[in-house]
Each structure stands twice: as C-alpha cells, then as structure tokens.
Amino acid sequence: MLMLFVVRYLPKTLHTLPNNRSTTTIIKPLMSLKRNTLTGYLADIKPCLLITTLLLSSCVQTGHETVPQDNSNLRPEDQQPIVEAAPLAINRELCAVGEVAQVFKIVDGDTIDVRLKNGVEERVRFIGIDTPERGESCFQEASERNAILIANTSVRLIKDTSERDIYGRLVRYICNSSNVFVNAQLVSDGVAHAYRYRPDTRFADQFKALEREAQQAGRGCLHPNPDTNSGASGTACCKVCRNGKVCGNSCIPWSQSCHREPGCACQG
C-alpha cells in the first residue's frame, strides 16, 4: 500500500511546487524567510514531508527481529543434553604442603615436566589416575585440560608413599596455585580414569567416587552421555582396544609391556 501511495501521489505533489523551486532551494533559505513566506513554503512541501515520514517509519518497522528458536519439533536424539561442569576440587589442607616446582612442559594428561627449586628438572607422573595415551581417543582433551590447570605455573608436588615409579619418574599428587587438587579435578572432569597405584592409595576411594559421578553425569570425553551414545550404555567397558592391547583402563601398542592392574578396558 505504501509503495502504491508513493507512486501515485508523489509526482503530483512535486508538480505542485513552483517551477523555480527544488527541494534544495526550498530548504536552504527556509530559516531566513519572513513568517508569511515560511508559511507558504511549509504548505507547499507538507505532502513531501508526510511521505518522507511514512518512508522512514516503514524502514524502522521492517528491521530484523530476534525470534526465539523453536526446538519443539526436534527429535529427542537431535536435542543435545545439558551436562553440568564439574565443581573445582579445592583441597586447601593438601595444597598447603609439598614441594614447590615450576611446570615447563605438559607431556600428556597425567604427566608433566617440572623444574625444582634447586634447578633440577624432573618428569612427574600423577598418582591415582590414568589418562589416554597418545593416539587414543580423548588424549588431546585430557592434555589440554591438564594444561589449562597447570601449564607454565607454579605447583606443589605432594608425596604419598613411593618416591618414583618403575620408569624413574617422580609420583606425586599435584596442586595448582589456586589450591585445586589437579589429580581429582581431571577425574571429576571426565578426562581421567581413577586407578589404584599400590602402595600410593591415600585418595583412591575419593578418585573412584569422582569417576562414578562423572560417568553418571555423562561428563567429559571418557564418559559420553548415554542419551547421545546408545552404544556407551549397557556395557562394562570404558574403552574398547581394537588397534592395540588392553592395559588397565587404556589401550597400548602390542609391542609395549603393560605394568598396570586389570581395569575397565576391553579387547575389541
């Protein structure tokens, strides 16, 4: 309707203006005119002003609007479940003790390289947890989460019973500068499995409880939500090894020796 009005009446309106007047010559001297002359000009251009107002109003009304997305027609399998993030595993008492070290390399999700106060560099294996090895599913996620928690920061290394593992690495619980118990946090985030390393079992029961919570919540890449992965429900296996052999909760190359207790991984 608006366009029809403009096409039909705008030419007539412009035709009614005096021959020696254009819209430009009308506006420029407008403020310097006497009152009676001003009234005459306003009468001449009133239809143009009306049309301009209508056009501007139309432009404003046709702006983009934010329309809420309607998900009512989505199939249940297409709707992504909401998975709450794990709470931070704060342990001020534990994190107040131990040896201070500077992290300079993230090896993977459960191993780091640190520099001690005396300048000695050590490789440290986290006690009580196990993350995927390089080339396995979830390796990248576990390594990145570990890096977010402690990369290039000062940490505390807390000893349990053992000093080193069979590979010569220090075995420790790790706390970051915010008093986050990193070993527990990685399990709670669903990027590490709880694993009982005897005789270092001080927090083994806590880690296992955190793993069950992560599984129930479908949290992290190790525990895909059963609502979106039907193949993950109804099975006791946390990982199926098809390109290697079972070792604890993980899969390792056939040529590598396994020094872990039986876990939840299954041979595929």
Mean pLDDT within 109-135: 96
- What does the pLDDT look like over 8-17, one tens digit per residue? 544 454 444 4
Residue 26 has pLDDT above 50, yes or no: no
- What does the pLDDT look like over 205-237, one tens digit per residue? 999 999 999 998 888 999 876 544 333 334 556
Mean pLDDT within 251-263: 69
Mean pLDDT within 136-155: 94
Residues 6+ apart with CB under 8 A from 189: 85, 86, 145, 214, 219, 220
| Confidence class for position 83, pLDDT limits 50, 70, 90 | low
Is-catalytic flag, 169? yes
Residue 68 has pLDDT above 90, yes or no: no
pLDDT at 248: 77
Q: Vertex 176, ends 173 and 181: CA angle to 5°? A: 50
Residue 243 has pLDDT above 90, yes or no: no
Is-catalytic flag, 133? yes
Between 195 and 49, where is the model more confident? Answer: 195
Cβ contact 194:211 at 8 Å = yes
* Region for 246 from its dihedrals, namely left if φ exceeds 0, alpha if ψ lies in -120 to 50, beta otherwise: beta
Stretch (H or E) spanning 107: none
Please count the residues of the chain: 268
Q: How far is CA 188 from CA 64, 177, 181, in A?
A: 43, 19, 11
Question: What DSSP designation does 231 have?
Answer: G
- Residue from 133, 141, 156, 219 carrying the catalytic annotation: 133
Bridge partners of 124, per DSSP, are 112, 170
Q: How far is CA 231 from CA 138, 212, 228, in A?
A: 17, 18, 9
Distance between CA atoms of residues 116 and 122, nearest Å: 8
pLDDT at 145: 95
Between 175 and 63, where is the model more confident? Answer: 175
Helices (H), 105-229: 139-150, 182-188, 204-217
Mean pLDDT within 50-71: 47
| Confidence class for position 95, pLDDT limits 50, 70, 90 | very high
pLDDT at 30: 43
pLDDT at 84: 63
Between 195 and 36, where is the model more confident? Answer: 195
**Structurally, what CATH architecture does the domain formed by 92-223 represent?**
Beta Barrel (2.40)
- Residue from 123, 169, 196, 260 carrying the catalytic annotation: 169
Mean pLDDT within 39-68: 49
Distance between CA atoms of residues 79 and 94, nearest Å: 41
Stretch (H or E) spanning 97: none
Q: What percent of the chain has pLDDT over 70?
A: 58
Average pLDDT score, the chain: 75
pLDDT at 242: 60
> Where do the CATH 2.40.50.90 domains begin and end in the chain?
92-223
- Residue from 125, 145, 156, 219 carrying the catalytic annotation: 125
